[in-house]
Structure 1
Amino acid sequence: MINLRSKLFWLLDKVKGNVIHDNLKNIEELFDLDYKLLQEQNQPVLDRLLKTAVNHSKFYEKYKGHESLQDFPVVNKNIIKQNFDGITLPEESIGGKRFSVSTSGSTGTPFKIYQSEGKKHRNTADTIYFAKKSGFNIGDRLLYLRLWAAYYKKPEFLAWIQNVDQLDVEEINDTFLESFFKKLTKDKQRKGWLAYSSAFSKICNYLDKGNYPPLDCNVTSIIAMSESLDLYTREKMEYYFKCPIVSRYSNVENGIIAQQMPNRKEFDVNWASYYVELLKIDSDDPADMGELGRIVVTDLFNLATPMIRYDTGDVATMEIGPNGFPEFSLVQGRITDILTNTKGEIISHFIIHTNLYRYPELEQVQLIQRKNKNYLFKVNSTGRFDREEEFIAFFKEYLGEDAHVSVEYVSEIPLLKSGKRKIIVNETT
């Protein structure tokens, strides 16, 4: 079947000078190289970014004599906000338009940067490249499930042109899903899912409760974003929609930084568009392979608000993949959500994700670390939970036998302002 939307997209891009096509071709060519050669090919792009920053930015002008990227300071959201005017470049300095990009953040703290026109084109090409790797093509119907704040929501006509269903997580309930899936199974066009992992979990819970069989609705791509993907949700989404699911690591201010490939748990880092470092939790020294570290990104294509050695606030572990490229073996989320046991040792939040299948009567679970040895589980149960003592004893094996663990029963664990739902909350940081 001819994909008219795809043909129209590429026709419009051709009229605009093939800006997306040329970026996409560059990404594909870079990933066909080995890691060392890719970095050599991207060195002029990095040099251009650093040169632009030191020559046109008050904040970076003191680094004009730099010898390498590591001579530049590590920055974060707070530093960028406090020095925004000194970091951000006017349009005349970058030789083109710039576009405002804003995010409320998970806690509602606003953060705004500018992206250059070249960066905007690169983001579109990145999205096309990584979506295709998951099985999604331009023009396919996209079931996009997230919190649709006003500044994200597309006009209805544009959404129709792009074949995007803007599904709001706040409006997803059993009544809506019953009607939605009846319509979905009648629609035979190719389609993909893009949603928060917790939203997928809610869908799986609904389908489980209804004893649904696998659905025949021609889903060819499922991408989970913004939150860690637990084993239950992974297996259930693949069962119900007969399609591999991948997890994507991205943010609003940069774009797609890494993504899993179908049937792989590791994350391919987007080395074509970023230089990514993993630094130690408590210093700016490089983390060792396999060590949990802070994700620090240099955005190679954004000249408007240069994001050089930008600490994303997230943590991961890195290994060398089978193709010789460094890859994330684990992406754990916000550094402020790191969980520690009673000895002060970091433990993975996946102790929750990977063990909840043992307690199917629990709808939602949130673990709050209040003090070094004080933990609270908030649980939403479908009925009476008779295994509380067993539940506490089981998780004490991870938290520490001297942990003080209590359980609070709630009717709902509320969404954050971002539309996501936290599984781990660390109140000691």
Structure 2
Amino acid sequence: MRKHVWKLILRYRRSVLKKHNTIGHWESLSPDAIEQCNQKRLQRMLDYAYNNVPYYKRKFDSAPKATRMSDLPLLEKEDIKENYEDLKGDGIQDRDWYKNATSGSTGQPTEFVQDAHYASFREGLKIVFDGWGGRQISEPKIKLWGSEEDLSNGNSIKTKLGRWLRNVTWINAYSMRKEDFRTASNKINDVKPNTIHAYVEAVANLANFIEENEVAIYSPNSVMTTAGTLRPEMRNQIERVFDCPVHNRYGSREFGTIASECAWTTGLHYCPMIHHIEIIDPDTMSPVEPGESGEIVVTSLTNFSMPLIRYRIGDIAAFHTGSCECGCNWPMITDVQGRVTDHFVALDGSLVYPGVLRKSLYYCDWINQFQIHQTDNDRVVFRLVSDTETPPQSDLEEISDKTKKVLGEDVTVEFDYPKSIDRADSGKYRYTISDVST
């Protein structure tokens, strides 16, 4: 019954199943047909942005000789903050729009607008990627998740009903003490999920606990990892412990799920009719050669309420140079290096997901960028980039109090105010760093 009701809802709510079928058709296209479709949809978005979005009208007029995407200006998180209203498309009031925001894992929490058209393609693509992992609509799924916003909304009747219809059971990845690992293991054994969708670090730590403590664990069809860098040793242990393949995914709040591995795990396929991806040298801003690592730049081809064109998402990857034996001709990215988000260690030895501390910075408008550094078991330094000469003392006290509540009352909390935060040698930004071994 649950499956049939949810399919009926997907059919009529935002036409998600129709979008899913369209995406399924795109899977079978030839490389030439994919390129033609991508260029057509990209040009449609560029034309719309120029004619209907004040911000892009100004920006495109300032680059009148642009003949390639790489000639157009890049969009930064700061641009969204400073031009929020001018980035909205004409007629947004008729588009069933809503607000969303990044988690702050890049050091710059950013609010933006999305709409029903975008959401229907996002949900349709999720269904396709779930299918690659062996899960069909409404088959049981465990989400080992760490989004504070998602978790905080979990008690509403609407959210509970939605999760029941989707057959999704959520486990809080923010709290990962020894007893939490055991509770999570028991929940997996009770639910017997078709798949586990999890933050990389969270499921890697859970797999390590299961193996070290010789816990009997149910084997799903797949484990889908996201929101971090999946290192080879992590993949090997997760696959060994859960006795199933790992499918890595890549996405963001701004664009939803962007790319996913298929059964062959050759690389992460992305649908170029939904996302146009460039990879650039962060120093020269020029496109890199296929196979060469660079910074990911994304253009959404489905969000007309607030188009994000050539958006610097803050992660590193390379274009895969070969084809995939799965038969899907969508392009692939590989060597994806997400934002490095070390777990912190509380005074009692428990692991603490960094999003708990990031949350305390969300509503401090005076913070332009941040880095949280646990230098020792009992010392945390907040590096805050700001234009404000005197930060509000009440905000600093609240940040300090929340940090002590999570890590321990005897933890020393310090504040530093650098002019900027540099990239690591890898080219990635590190906004949560822990020097404390687990």
Q: TM-score scaled to structure 2, two decimals?
A: 0.71
Structure 1 range deviating more: 93-102 or 127-136: 93-102
Q: Return the alpha-carbon distance in structure 2 between the equivalents of residues 97 and 377 of structure 1.
A: 42
Structure 2 Cα separation of the partners of residues 187 and 52 of structure 1? 46
Does the 8 Å CA contact 2:315/2:338 hold for their aligned counterparts? yes
Given the alignment of the two structures, is residue 195 of structure 1 paired with residue 191 of structure 2, yes or no?
A: no
User: In the TM superposition, what whole-angstrom CA distance separates every residue of 1:394-421 from its partner, at most 9, and x where no partner exists?
Assistant: xxxxxxxxxxxxxxxxx99xxxxxxxxx
Consecutive unaligned residues of structure 1, counting only runs of 5 or more, are 339-348, 350-362, 365-375, 381-410, 413-421
> Structure 1 residues 16, 313: closer, same or farther in 2, change over 3 A?
closer
- 1:204 Cα deviation from its structure 2 partner: 1.5
Structure 1 residues 182 and 116 mapped into 2: Cα distance closer, same or farther (>3 Å)?
closer
Q: Quick one: distance in 1 between partners of 2:33 and 2:376?
A: 50
The farther-off stretch of 271-280 and 168-177 is 168-177
Letter aligned with residue 275 of structure 2: Y
TM-superposed deviation, 1:120:
0.9
Deviation, structure 1 residue 78: 1.4
Contact 2:34 2:330 in 1 (8 A): no
Listed as ranges, the gaps of 5+ residues in structure 2 are 343-350, 353-372, 378-406, 409-423, 432-438
SS at match of 1:219: coil
Once residues 94 and 290 of structure 1 are traced to their aligned partners in structure 2, the CA distance between those partners, rounded to angstroms, is 42
Q: Which residue of 2 aligns with 1:316?
A: 317
Output one character per residue of 1:193-251: Cα deviation in whole Å (capped at 9) or x when no partner: 111111012102211221235x3x35112111010112232122212222101111100
Checking the alignment, whether the CA contact within 8 Å between 2:106 and 2:429 is kept in structure 1 is no
Aligned-pair distance for 1:123?
0.5
Determine whether 1:251 maps to 2:252. yes
Question: How far did 1:72 drift?
Answer: 2.4
- Distance 1:44-1:115 versus aligned 2 partners, 3 A rule: same
C-alpha contact (below 8 Å) 2:141/2:197 kept by paired residues: yes
Residues 18-60 of structure 1 show CA distances to partners (whole Å, capped at 9, x for unaligned) of: x112211111111211222112123332222112211121111
SS in 2 for 1:223: strand
| Residues 29, 211 of structure 1: alpha-carbon distance in 2 compared, 3 angstrom cutoff | same
2:403 is aligned to none
**TM-aligned CA deviation for residue 136 of structure 1:** 1.8
CA contact (8 A) 2:77 2:108 kept: no
Matched, 1:27 2:23: yes
Q: Pick which of 72-81 and 247-256 moved more.
A: 72-81
Alignment-derived partner of residue 161 in structure 2: 157
- 1:172–1:30 distance in 2 versus 1, CA, 3 Å: same
Displacement of 1:261 after TM fit? 1.9
Q: 1:378 to 1:173 in 2, by over 3 A?
A: same
Give 1:104's aligned residue: 103
State the SS of the aligned residue for 1:59.
Answer: helix
Corresponding residue of 2:116: 117
Distance 1:157 1:16, change over 3 A: closer
The DSSP-based 3-state class of the residue aligned with 1:185 is helix
- Corresponding position of 1:11: 8
Residues 94 and 72 (structure 1 numbering): CA distance in 2 closer, same or farther, change over 3 Å? farther
The Cα RMSD (Å) is 3.3
Counterpart of 1:261 in structure 2 is 262
- Indicate whether 1:134 and 2:136 are aligned: no
After superposition, give the CA deviation of every residue in 1:353-380 in whole Å (9 maximum; x if it has no partner): xxxxxxxxxx99xxxxxxxxxxx99799
CA distance in 2, matches of 1:326, 1:254: 17
2:40 to 35, 40, 44: 44
Q: Does 1:230 align with 2:231?
A: yes
- CA 1:80–1:128: 2 relative to 1, 3 Å: same
Aligned to 1:405: none
CA contact (8 A) 2:142 2:170 kept: yes
Structure 1 stretches (4+) deviating beyond 4 angstroms?
64-68, 376-380, 422-427
Contact 2:113–2:306 at 8 Å: present in 1 too? yes
Name the structure 2 match of 1:395.
Answer: none
Give how far 1:151 is off. Answer: 5.0
Instruction: Look up the equivalent residue of 1:126 and give its one-letter code.
Output: L
Give the conservation status (yes or no) of the 8 Å contact 2:10–2:16.
yes
Give the deviation of 1:306 after TM superposition.
Answer: 0.5
| Aligned counterpart, 1:358 | none
Matches of 2:292 and 2:5, distance apart in 1: 46
Q: CA–CA distance in 2 between the matches of 1:149 and 1:249?
A: 19
Task: Using the TM superposition, give the Cα deviation of residue 426 of structure 1 relative to its aligned residue in structure 2, in angstroms.
Answer: 5.6
Please give the secondary structure, in 2, of the residue aligned with 1:281.
Answer: coil
- Give the fraction of aligned pairs with identical amino acids, expressed as a percent: 23
TM-score normalized with structure 1 length: 0.72
Structure 1 stretch displaced more, 244-253 or 151-160: 151-160
Distance 2:28 2:150 in 1: 36
1:23 counterpart SS class: helix
CA distance, structure 2, for counterparts of residue 171 and residue 329 of structure 1: 30
SS in structure 1 of the partner of residue 46 of structure 2: helix
Alpha-carbon separation, structure 1, partners of 2:283 and 2:224: 32
Query: Take 1:186 and 1:117, find their aligned partners in 2: how far apart are those partners?
Result: 35
Q: Which amino acid aligns with 2:98?
A: F
Q: Using a 3 Å threshold, how does the CA distance of structure 1 residues 93 and 184 change in structure 2: closer, same or farther?
A: closer
Which residue identity is paired with 1:131? D
Specify whether residues 310 and 60 from structure 1 end up closer, same or farther in structure 2 by C-alpha distance, changes over 3 A only: same
User: What is the correspondence of 1:8-407 to structure 2 with a 5 Å cutoff?
Assistant: 8-16=5-13, 19-62=15-58, 63=60, 68-90=68-90, 92=91, 95-106=94-105, 109-150=108-149, 153-154=153-154, 155-188=159-192, 190-212=193-215, 215=217, 217-323=218-324, 326-334=331-339
| Aligned-partner SS, 1:119 | helix
* 1:178 counterpart letter in structure 2: R
Give the C-alpha shift of residue 314 in structure 1: 0.9
- Tell me: CA distance 1:16–1:263, structure 2 relative to 1, closer, same or farther (3 Å): closer
